[in-house]
Structure 1
Amino acid sequence: MAARRPDDEGGDGALSSPRLRYGTPERAGLDAGQIARLVEDVRLLTDGPRPWCAGAVVLAGRGPVIAAQDACGWAVRYAAYDETAGRGLGLPFAARVPMAADTPFDLASLTKLFTTIAAVQQIERGTLGIDARVGAYLPEFTAAAEYGVTVRGLLTHTSGLRPELPLYAAPDAASRLALLRAEAPSSKPGEYVYSDLNMLLLQHLLERLTGRPLDVLVRDGITRPLGMTATSYGPRAGAAATEDQRRPWAKADRGMLRGEVHDENAWALGGIAGHAGLFATAYDLAVLCRTLLNGGSYGTARILGPDFVDLMLTAPGLGFRIDQPWFMGELAGAGAAGHTGFTGTSLVLDPATDTFLVLLANTVHPRRRRADNVPRAAAATRLARAVTGPPGS
């Protein structure tokens, strides 16, 4: 992690960490040519009749310096998806909404990182045991209790729970809760199976443990102390549009979505869920990356101690994915951490080089499709190749 300097002190004498500021690639210890190509590569993703995304915001930096931030394409490009023609129905140019650097995005599964941090905060305080059984906190979740599902299993996706449940199809909140309570592991405990259900159970556990809803835990424990004023659960005005959500390709008929959570289960749960539901800007996510690279502190705020940041970011990782070349490119290999989201969002932070990359795109606008992570990996590789000297100051 980046070391704090003796002169990094706040006005009250408390040790502080450098805050983000905009600067040149050279100031950040990055090659300007590689950074320029990174930005240009992202811009090309919004071009052509079938672009990778309608629009995107990319932000890259090293140390406390943001070396590049760029917005391209459209936050809203399509009016609907034409199933017969197999393409989006584009809005007239005058009706489209250009992408801006401060456009909020539906983070989708990047929400899991915030739920993870909220849990690790409780582990640090000693109120939650990482190897404790979920049934000790939620005895009414009878299947998890019977099979000995642990907090660590939830955080590492090794609980054995299947990827998801059709909660959106249940008739009411009581039925949705009953499904979760009765859900038993479907694979061998200890085997990695990425599952939204892990974070839904973790949400219920945290809310039971603290007596506070998840959105309050995220706000009071993470976003407010870090000054992440553009990060919150929806609905969110001005957000990038996502999908013309209709059956048969989607699980619900909701029409073109903008500012409402895309994930059908999160929507059925009221928009606040452990696995999805948050909206944020690229800058706010850069603040989160910088905080973790600083060992849990940003400015005079501290949300975690360095040992607990290391616990979260050391392989196999808690919530975060570690060294995954399929979306981290050449940044992977020495402890890079990050995550992706179904709507087209991703972030990567690399303690070895003190770099961070946020790429937010509305790849599901106007319709979801098979994930293509090649552009994410390519952007991360550009950043890895840009590292020249020591981090900026």
Structure 2
Amino acid sequence: MIDQRRAFNRRQFLQGMAQFAAVAAAAPALGSDPWRGVTCTTLTAGEPGDVSMSSERLEDVFARIQRRVNDGLFPGATALVARHGVIVGHRAFGNKVAGADDPVTVDTIFDLQSMTKVLSTAASALALVQEGVIRLNDPVARHLPEFAANGKGAVTVHDMLRYSSGLPMDNQFLDMTDDEAVWHLMAETPLEYPTGTSVLYSDLTYRLLGRMIEAAAGEDLDTVADGRIWGPLGMNDTMYNPPPALVERIAATGYSSIRGRVVRGEVQDEQDFALGGVTGCDGVFSTARDIAVFCQMIMNGGAYGRAEVLRPDLVRHMKKNSTPQVTAAATDTSPINNLLFTPKGLGWELWTKRFSHGGMRLSPRAYGKAGGAGTFMWVDPDLEIIGVLLTNHGLPQPFDELGWDRMLDNIGCAEFFDGIINAVHD
């Protein structure tokens, strides 16, 4: 299935030539080579001491994950730590299915849920900006006309990317079977607050952003992300809707009362599953290694090895604070408020010192993303550290403030990232 998706044909060749022309047309503003001076570090295996980290302290980090698995707080996990482009720890823990003897391995594939917003949607949107297909200040309705309903005609792509569109957190229609009707109703959803005046983390915003990307590109989101981001980076284990042949490599999440089974190889979110599994807010599956490659590309400034994926200026915009209308002092008041209301980049969550799921020791410029089924990635550009922790905890039940707090405590994600920083000697 993956090979067929990436097969070369005449249509893709012509599309590629058009993309090349669009990038070339934009290049003069940046000089003849926008990647000149970009460090194209690629990940290699090494020892903690090679990058001034303590192997003893890293072993303590991994032992704490194992203890949580042994205590039954979640079935299994993989963890990866890299610094200066060197992978200094990559471990697997527990089982892929709760109660089964099916050990997690370092190449186990996990349901990433909202990490999709960065790995697929935000990155794809910026790739289309790079090609000249869309602009950040484009009204969303220019590409998705039905979105203009209920006074939303001025909401821009940039507003959506930075979680400031004004849309509510979600608007689900699980009792409907007509996907087109569901998309239309979602697009018509009224705003909850004036666009750009606040921040509200929103699955609906990113679900519709993914829909807009498909309309603008004339391709499904899976094809856009794979052709422009994952494929060039060699992220061959990153995908939507994994084929049945890969199920044995995939960690199961939770039980679905709607589907009547434990979810394995299907996105756990019910609305996104009902819409076919390919959406802008959830649905991507991947491994710790693939995610680390993506993070290294971002830390490099948009390139990885020979792959020049995103222009440096777009990467800088992606990871900076794009929401000056809010402050951490006023919004970082609890773990759930940290997710919902604190300053954001384009797709990325930004580190704050009180209730970040990245712990308390990351550098102020750190950026990361959580997935609701228990997956986390953080990049500390000052220390040049990447941390990835993927678990199959599953979506909190119910998904409310108490459930979110309990999941974070069970997984110990803050303890994990604090431990990584604590292992740095310099």
Where 2:268 maps in the other structure, the secondary structure is coil
The aligned amino acid for 1:295 is G
**Aligned pair 1:98/2:122, yes or no?**
no
**What amino acid does structure 2 have at the position aligned with 1:353?**
L
Q: Please state if 1:380 is matched with 2:380.
A: no
Q: Deviation string for 1:356-379 (max 9, x for gaps)?
A: 000000112896671232411111
* Structure 1 residue 307, shift from structure 2 partner: 1.5
2:386 to 340, 345, 356: 356
- Taking the aligned partners of 2:153 and 2:160, their CA distance within structure 1 comes to 13
Question: Within 2, Cα distance between the matches of 1:265 and 1:148?
Answer: 27
Amino acid at match of 2:132: G
Residue 19 (structure 1) shift: 1.6
Matching residue within 340, 344, 347 for 1:319: 347
Of residues 290, 294, 297, the one that matches 1:288 is: 294
Aligned-pair distance for 1:330?
A: 2.9
Post-superposition CA distance 1:316-343 (Å, at most 9, x none): 3100001145211134442111110111
Q: Cα distance, 1:178 vs. partner? A: 2.1
Secondary structure at 2:59 match in 1: helix
Q: 1:176 Cα shift?
A: 0.7
Mapped partners of 1:130, 1:326: distance in 2: 28
**Pick from 123, 130, 136: which aligns with 2:129?**
123
Q: Cα gap change, 1:144/1:328 in structure 2, threshold over 3 Å: closer, same or farther? A: farther
3-state secondary structure, aligned to 1:287:
helix
Q: Give, in whole Å, the separation in 2 of the partners of 1:348 and 1:52.
A: 22
What is the aligned counterpart of 1:217 among 220, 224, 229? 224
1:97 Cα offset (Å):
1.0
Partner of 1:235: 242
Higher percent of residues as strand: 1
Letter of the 1:323 partner, please give it.
W
Moved more, 274-283 or 230-239: 230-239
Counterpart residue type for residue 70 of structure 2: D
User: Secondary structure, in 3 states, of the residue corresponding to 2:379?
Assistant: strand
Q: State whether residues 91 and 106 of structure 2, in contact with CA within 8 Å, keep that contact through their aligned partners in structure 1.
A: yes
CA contact (8 A) 2:376 2:390 kept: yes
> Which letter does structure 2 place at the counterpart of 1:245?
S
Secondary structure of 1:328's counterpart equals coil
Distance in 2, matches of 1:344 and 1:366, equals 9
Partner of 1:338: 368
Residue 200 (structure 1) aligns with: 207
Give the length in aligned residue pairs. 354
Distance 1:122 1:387, change over 3 A: same
Question: Which of 11, 22, 28 is the matching residue for 2:45?
Answer: 22
Q: Secondary structure at the match of 2:237?
A: coil
Give how far 1:15 is off: 8.1
Distance 1:319 1:174 in 2: 26
Determine which of 148, 160, 179 is the counterpart of 1:173: 179
Structure 1 gaps of 5+ residues are 1-13, 78-89, 247-251
Partner of 1:278: 284
How many angstroms apart in 2 are the aligned matches of 1:158 and 1:178?
Answer: 21
SS at match of 2:296: helix
Q: Is the 8 A contact 1:297 1:304 kept in 2?
A: yes
| Structure 2: distance between partners of 1:335 and 1:275 | 24
Distance 1:187 1:235, change over 3 A: same
Q: Which SS does the other structure have where 1:140 is aligned?
A: helix
Alignment of 1:39 with 2:62, yes or no, is yes
Q: 1:157 to 1:365 in 2, by over 3 A?
A: closer
8 Å Cα contact 1:241/1:257 also seen in 2? yes
Which sits farther off after the overlay, 144-153 or 99-108?
Answer: 144-153
Following the alignment from structure 2 to structure 1, what is the Cα–Cα distance between the partners of residues 398 and 106?
A: 23
1:60 aligns with 2:81: yes
The answer on whether the counterparts of 2:167 and 2:190 sit within 8 Å (CA) in structure 1 is: yes
* Alpha-carbon spacing, 1:69–1:134, altered in 2? closer, same or farther (3 Å): same
Point out 4+ residue stretches in structure 1 off by more than 4 angstroms: 365-369
Q: Is the 8 A contact 1:147 1:184 kept in 2?
A: no
Which residue does the alignment assign to 1:80?
A: none
Instruction: String of CA shifts for 1:31-85, please: whole Å, max 9, x gaps.
Output: 222211111111111012xx221111010110110010110111112xxxxxxxx
Deviation at 1:127, TM superposition (A): 2.8
Which residue of 1 is the match for residue 21 of structure 2?
Answer: none
For residues 297 and 365 of structure 1, what CA distance do their matches in structure 2 show? 33
- Paired with 1:185 and 1:24, the residues of 2 have a C-alpha distance of 51
Match of 2:255 in 1: 244
What is the TM-score of this pair, normalised by structure 1? 0.85
2:74 maps to a residue whose letter is C
SS in 2 for 1:72: strand
User: Structure 1: which amino acid aligns with 2:414?
Assistant: A
Partner of 1:249: none
Measured in 1, the distance between the counterparts of 2:128 and 2:256 equals 37
More helix by share: 2
Contact 1:163 1:193 in 2 (8 A): yes
Asked if 1 retains the 8 angstrom alpha-carbon contact of 2:125 and 2:213, the reply is: yes
